[in-house]
Structures are given as structure tokens and as C-alpha cells.
Structure 1
Amino acid sequence: MNKDQLLAYINENDIQKVKFAFADIDGVLRGKTISTEKLLDGLQDGYGFCDVAFGWDVNDAAYDNVKLTGWHSGYPDKNCRIDLATMRNIPWQENITFFLADFSKEDGNDLSACPRSLLKRIIKQCDEMGYHAEFAQEFEWFNFRETPHSLQEKSFNQLKPLTPGMFGYSILRTSQENAFYTDLFDLLTRFNIPVEGLHTETGPGVYEAAIAHDNTLAAADKAALFKAAVKEIASIHGITATFMAKWNADLPGCSGHIHQSLWDKSYKTNLFYNADDEQNMSDLLKHYLAGQLYCLPHLLPMYAPTINSYKRLVEGAWAPTTITWGVDNRTTAIRILNSNEKYTRLEMRIPGSDSNPYLAIAASLASGLYGVKHKLSLNIAATQGNGYQDVSNGRLHSNLHDATMAMQNSSVAKELFGEAFVDHFTNTRLWEHRQYAKSVSDWELKRYFEII
């Protein structure tokens, strides 16, 4: 859609206002509602948006350790540009028109902290190498019969799940919550987030959804919008949805696995498939896989960005802890699915549902392309059996601080994403660690308050 087509659409449908949003460094959508007049006025040069959106954390506390923005800069406006290709109507909000935006610039000098702009740069590299990449992210999340107010009043304790008990792939539970379940499937599809599958997972009130695959940018857009849309649809039903990686120590965590493949530019041939190979894996897939395995220790915070992420990455919790791969093996960090050409793909199993889709997908694509560019040999054997016990190539970092320090000091990370992004992103993760380190948890109170 160009500006003339947009103007015609606005006039034909008597649209007075639109919403637009962009993803911050944590993948949280930030945006505003503007008049259609302002929308049209800013299509060429963008819209001023305070850069504090990249200068504060998930609780709107200002970072004290980033160079890009802060009290030292005066928090000026930066130009935000709407992507007309992302236009869609919000079916649960009186058909309001919505756009995604980012901080990309025509001269390529993008705002280094903008996740969507970063991903677009990696996609450009992929295009220049002659490949078309397809991606899809799937999510698990828990649902509760709570509101934002009740969560605060209960101090996030004694929460009531949408449904009780452990009942994965349940037909009964979804029928009992048919209105919510049906709205999720139907409204997401009408919001241009087609869902391939939706079902309960094991755990009280937990669902899993697989989003249909698409080109890289569209897939990341849909993943980011999916989480926000689910929260809004849930709210209509008096439900709160959480995408925390691990909300309860006694229950399974929530994944955000990323499926990916490389095709020729015409999108007719899956370049990851080779019928003549014993494992149906092309040399391109082997290089791509080798790149991801090699880069994993350098980029882990882009897959696991929160303190809570690492509570999920523990043995026996259906989440990887080792630098491993396997064919249809759900205990490894990377799972290869290769039954036929159409569906051959790589599944990155490290990200939780708390991951920022733009950054997790950028890390996946960039590290895979790194292996292709350097023709890295796949010198790590496929894990047979239990990936938790295969430590031959090392373990993943077990906490955000160690993972972030590895990334901050990594020349590989800076080569892939630039020093400015790595500096900004890792300092936001170190801030997150400091906020956690100085907090006093319920575990400490229960363990020490009376006895010590």
C-alpha cells in the first residue's frame, strides 16, 4: 500500500484515528493513537517519539548505564517510521486500524537499540547472499482468572489458573473454555496472525500456539503482535495471560521455539534439504547449523533475555542446557526436522516465551548466516538420546549475568550486530541483573527470617 492507496482507504472507511506501535528492547510494544491527519503528515519524515522508550526497563525505570539515551542526552525525540505493509485492523477494538513501526533510516544509520531495525539489517544480508528465509515462532503461556488489580492485591500469590490440573492436549479443557479458545483462534487469524495449531499444554491453564511461517520480518512482526494480542483478547474474558519463561518452580516453563529454513529467492526450493544425504541435510544446512552452535555462547541473552529465562533452562524441564543438536530430539538446543523437502527446517529450542522475537530471530538468522559465510564444518555430532547428559561441547550459561558478560566481551557478537547495539543491549541486561541482585525474595524471607 502506498500513500495514495492509504488515503483512499481512510476516506472510504471514514477512519479518524489509527494506532501504531514498535517493540522496545524487551519486545514490549510501545505506541500511541494518532489522528489520520498526523498519520499522513508523517509518512515521509516520520514521527517524533521520545527515545526514553529505549532508555528504561520493563517497569519504566531509567537505565543508568547506557550511552544511547539518558539524562545526559536530555531524552530527545527520535524519528519513528510506520511500515505500511504491516497495516491490519484490530477486530476486538471496533475495527481500529493498526501499524507497526521502527526506527530505520533511509541512509542505513538506524537507531542501534531498535530491535526491528536490527532484524531488517540482518535480512538485507540474507537477501544479498541470495537466500529467502522463512521463520515461525511458537509460544506457550499460562492463563489466569485474574485482573491487573487482583494480581497486585494478591502480590502475585495464590493465583487462580484458568483451569486446574495437568492436562496436555485436552479436548475437554478447551471445550470448557470455548468462548476464549474460539476467540483466540478466530480473532488472531482476522488480525493477520494465522494460527496453525492451538492446544493445552501440561500445566494448569497453559496453552500452546504455533503461528504459520512467513518471511523473516513478517514472522517476527506476527510473533511480537501475537503476545500483545493474546493479552488483549484474554482481558476481554477476564483472564490474564503471562509469557514469563517460568512463573512457578513446580510447573513446566514456557517455550518460544523458532522454526527456520532457507530457500532459493523464488521460494520454490528448500535449500536445507538433500535427499542424497544420510540425514537429508544439505551442506548449507550443516553450515547454518554449525554457525548457530558456534555463536550460541556469544549470543545467549538474545534468546534468554531475563533473569527468569534461566529458571526455565534447567535439566529435565523440556528446555536445553547444553550446546547440542539432534534429529527430532527435544532434549537438545537445536532440533532438526527433515522428513521431507517441504517441511525440512531447524528448530531453535532455547528461547522462552519471554524472548523478544526480533532479537531472537535476528540472532538465529545472523548466526546461521555466519556459519554459511565462513563455511563452518559441522564438527559436533548429533546427540543420540538425552541431550542433558551430552556436555561434550559445553553447557549454556546458567544465569543472565554470565551470559551477558560473555556477549559483551564477544568479538563475534560485535561483528554480527555492531558495537553500538551490543553495548546498549548488554548494559540493559546488566541493569536487569543488578535490579535482581539487590532484591529480597520470598525464598530468602521463608528461609532466613526466623531461623537466622
Structure 2
Amino acid sequence: MPDRKTHPALAELKKNGATKVKVAVSDIDGVLRGKYLHIDKFEGAASGGFGFCDVVFGWDMTDSTYDNTSVTGWQHGYPDALAQVDLDTARKVPWDDNVPFFLGEFVNADGSPHPVCPRQTLKKVLARAEKLGFQPMCGMEFEWFNFRETPHTWAAKNGVPPEPITPGMFGYSLLRMADNPGFFNALMDEMLAFNVPIEGLHTETGPGVYEVAIGFSTALEQADRAILFKTGAREIGKRFGIMPSFMAKWSQKYPGCSGHIHQSLSDGKSNLFYDGASPRKMSALFESYLAGQVACMMDFGPMLWPTINSYKRLVDGFWAPVKPTWGIDNRTASFRVIAGSAKATRLETRCPGADVNPYLAMAAVIAAGLHGVEKGLKLTAPPITGSNQGGENVPRAPRTLIETARKFRESEVARDWLGDTFVDHFAATREWEWRQWQDAVTDWELKRYFEII
């Protein structure tokens, strides 16, 4: 890695006469929080870090502060935490006059990783993978709905259903792509210029739904691309009067929005999941990795389903898998084995939703898989066939956030891979989210009980 003071990214800024730089960090929910820095301030930050209020780990996505966390909170006065710029994430924002952009992460005063920083949490898992001799490779897919709304029109509707950009159930539709060609092409072209390459983009089943496949890469790079895609799609959408939503399920009538994660392990040269001599083309390593996910993915539940709404997506018959089952090229299973060539053999974990924090979701699936490798787990459960034939006796995933948060807090596997501080903090934030739901009075309750009871 180049010295921070002589890093090519800094030389590029000076060469181009940059006067300002945009920097961003992930909060606990996967919302990018950022600011512009004057070039002089940025040059200092690039070598020594810069202060960023630690409230980004002490509030929810509506900026309401937690009352049940110990790492950060009013009891500490919300001081600045030390944010460190990752100069290797350098890129320019095409839709923002090509302003230079960098991602950051949090460190302690001694330079060690901050224990609740999402990007550092993924790096912690990847460092353990490296010690095992593996380089996790990942690709992420998102489904999301697009609406003809702005933040102002949506606020004025007070929760009345938004207007999708196209009507009807029309997946893989060239006609629906043609309804908004400017937005479609801007996503393809401007994301590529933003170093977030898109392998495929098409309409999905539902009004105004798109699906994207982000170019396969190393896991950290993929998580960076994924979080930048979600923010970038929203920023590009504003230019076209379109509001993208990555909410897991906005309407009971339509399928939810997935956040599938494709994975394989490499030794730096070859795909270690492939074994041409195996009847399934799956190596023993692949089988142990998959066995780890089958055995303990539920331990990491709130990292896959982080919101109250996440669980509304987990409905039988609506494409989202609801049990920890696996199958060969079977999209009804949580874990879809795609086995064939040395290049293509991989695992697709299909249970996460589009509302995930990419850093945390990726940390969860890799940790679960590598737990299976470390423990030498065997793939004893047979693959399901058809629509869950063979998985009838497999317990389904919990239906509420509080259930998965409690299981996560008690999980020895999660604590082993992520650390006690992170587990306690993240569990507390999900318990907070549950309490906000418990206190809320919804339109469903008003419609059901207002007149009758």
C-alpha cells in the first residue's frame, strides 16, 4: 500500500487543482453520512484523520438518539471520533461536477479499528479470512422500487402510497426500460464512471421495480460499491424526478426487494469453490462454507434483516426464501449453489433484503461460511428441490426483529467473529428500533379499530 503522504490519489488532486473533496462514512444502518472538506483540510485529514461526531453510531436513521447504548450516547457528550480516509477508494462523482470523493472508516485514538464501525467490522472478518489463506470474492444484487416522487411530494402525502414510475407486473421488459431511458442510461453510464460497474440492469416483477447486478470483486470493494450504488441511485434519480426506495417491502401486494450476495473464495489465483472431479462441481471447502451458512446464518439474522419492515418481506410464495435451505440453482432456497465452470461456481445467499447495510450483510455471510470451514462442518442436509420439497421440517426464519436481535445477542458464533462490543451495540440498536415500532400507532390500527372497538 502506498505511503499516505505520497499516495497517487493525493498527487491526482494536486494535478487537477481540486479545491474541495467529498468524504463519507457508513452509519450503523448503512446510511452514508458525509461532508465537503476544503482541499487544505482534506490533505491534513488524509495523513492524520479528521474528527467526525460519533453520533453517527448513536442515532437511528431519523437522527433520534439511542437511550440504550454504551459505546456512544449522551453520557459521553457525543465527542468527535477519529475518521480515517481510505485513499484507495478515490473516485469522482459524475453527477456532482466530478468532485473528488473518498470513503472513510473509524479508528480509535491509537489507530486500532473502531469496534462498531461497519466497514471495520467487515475488515475484521476479512482479516481472519486472510489468515486462513482465503480471499472472499463477492457480487451484490439489489431489487428496488422507483417512484415519481420527491422528498417534498412524499412528505406532503403523509404516507399515502407513492406513484410508481411505471404500472403493472412486467419483469425483463424492454418496453418499461424505454419509459425512462434517461434514468436507465444514467445509472449504467454514470455508475461506471463512479467506479461502480454494473453487470446487468433490468426491470423486475412489480410496478417501477429495477434489479441491478454490481460487478464481481473482492469483498471490501464490493461492499463499497454496494453502499455507493444505493446512495448514487438516489442522487441520480433526483435529476429525473424519481425517488428510488430500497425498503424491503413497501406494499403487501407486491414481492419485496432483495439484496442477494454472491460469494466464492479465492487463493489469489483460482476459485477454491470449484472441483471438476466432484459430481456437483463443488469442492469440499465449498461444502463446508455452505454448511456453515446453513447451520448458523440465523445467528446473524438482524444483519440480514435489520428493520421492522424487513420481516414483511419474509412471506411464503413471494420469492423471498423463509428457511435456511440450500439447492442447486434453485431460487426458492436461501442458499443457491451455482456450480459449473471454474469461473462461475459460487454461492448466492438469497435471504438478505435490499435494506441491508452492505458492510454488515457481507460480514455476516462470510463469517457464517468461514465458521463452517474452521469447524470442518459437513453438508449433511440434502438440497431442496422444486418449491422447498425436502425442507418441510426445517424451521422458518423468525418473523420479528426482536427475535433475531435476541438470538444475535446470545450467539457465541457472532461474538467470536464480530466481537462483544459490536454484538452488544448492534443488538441494542435493533432493540431500540423494535421499541419505536412498539410505541407507534399505525394506519392499519386506525383502519381496523377506530370505529369498531
User: Is the TM-score greater than 0.5?
Assistant: yes
The answer for the alignment partner of 1:149 in structure 2 is 152
Question: What is aligned with 2:282?
Answer: 281
1:365 & 1:430 partners in 2: Cα distance?
Answer: 24
**Residue 345 of structure 2: aligned partner:** 344
Change (3 A) 1:369 1:176: same
In the TM superposition, what whole-angstrom CA distance separates every residue of 1:88-129 from its partner, at most 9, and x where no partner exists?
A: 000011110000000145967322110001111111111111
Identity of aligned residues (%): 49
Tell me which residue corresponds to 1:424: 425
* CA distance, structure 2, for counterparts of residue 106 and residue 339 of structure 1: 48
**Amino acid corresponding to residue 84 of structure 2 in structure 1:** R
Classify the secondary structure of the residue corresponding to 1:281.
coil
Larger mean Cα displacement after TM superposition, 103-112 or 249-258: 103-112
How far does residue 44 in structure 1 lie from its aligned partner after superposition? 2.6
User: Is it true that 1:415 corresponds to 2:428 in the alignment?
Assistant: no
Specify the code of the residue in structure 2 equivalent to 1:384: T
Other-structure match for 1:55: 58
Deviations 1:418-452 (A, max 9, x none): 11000000000000000001111111111110111
Counterpart AA for 2:298: P
**Which one is further off, 354-363 or 120-129?**
120-129
The whole-number CA distance in structure 1 between the counterparts of 2:150 and 2:319 is 29
Deviation track 1:159-218 (CA, whole Å, cap 9, x = no partner) reads 211111111100011112111111111001110000000000011111000001101100
Task: Give the structure 2 partner of residue 357 of structure 1.
Answer: 358
- The CA distance in 2 between the partners of 1:446 and 1:41, in whole Å, is 56
- Counterpart for residue 198 of structure 2: 195
Q: Tell me: CA distance 1:206–1:73, structure 2 relative to 1, closer, same or farther (3 Å).
A: same
Q: Distance in 2 between matches of 1:109 and 1:286?
A: 34
Of the candidates 2, 5, 23, which is equivalent to residue 20 of structure 1?
A: 23
Q: Contact between 2:165 and 2:242, CA under 8 Å: does it hold in 1? A: yes
Q: Deviations over 1:276-303 (max 9, x none)?
A: 1121111000100011111112111111
Which of 79, 93, 96 is equivalent to 2:96? 93
SS at match of 1:431: helix
Aligned residue in 2 for 1:302:
303
Partners of 2:89 and 2:103 within 8 A in 1: yes
Matched, 1:382 2:383: yes
User: What pairs up with 1:44-443 in 2 under 5 angstroms?
Assistant: 44-104=47-107, 109-265=112-268, 267=269, 269-387=270-388, 390-443=391-444
Q: State the alpha-carbon separation in 2 of the partners of residues 244 and 229 from structure 1.
A: 16
Which aligned segments of 4 or more residues in structure 1 are displaced greater than 6 angstroms?
Answer: none
SS of alignment partner, residue 346 of structure 1: strand
Deviation at 1:339, TM superposition (A): 2.0
> Is contact 2:334–2:351 with CA below 8 Å preserved after alignment?
yes
Question: Helix, strand or coil: the match of 1:241?
Answer: strand
Conservation of the 8 A alpha-carbon contact between 2:327 and 2:384: yes
Length-normalised TM-score, structure 1: 0.97
Counterparts of 1:430 and 1:263 in 2: how far apart (Å)? 37
Residue 291 of structure 2 aligns with an amino acid whose one-letter code is: A
Q: Decide whether the 8 Å contact of 2:9 with 2:88 is kept in 1.
A: no
Cα offset for 1:389?
A: 7.2
State how many pairs are aligned.
Answer: 450
1:131-175 residue CA offsets vs partner (Å, 9 max, x unmatched): 121101100111111000000101131421111111110001111
Does the 8 Å CA contact 1:323/1:391 hold for their aligned counterparts?
Answer: no
Q: Gapped runs of 5+ residues in structure 2?
A: none
Q: Matched residue of 1:98: which SS?
A: strand
Q: TM-score, normalised by structure 2?
A: 0.97
In terms of mean alpha carbon deviation, does 318-327 or 379-388 score higher? 379-388
For residues 284 and 108 of structure 2, the distance between their equivalents in structure 1, rounded to whole angstroms, comes to 36
What SS is found at the alignment partner of 1:79?
strand
Superposed CA offset, 1:8-42 (max 9, x none)? 32222111000000111100000110011111112
Between 1:85-94 and 1:269-278, the stretch displaced more is: 269-278
Distance 1:434 1:389 in 2: 37
Amino acid at match of 1:440: V
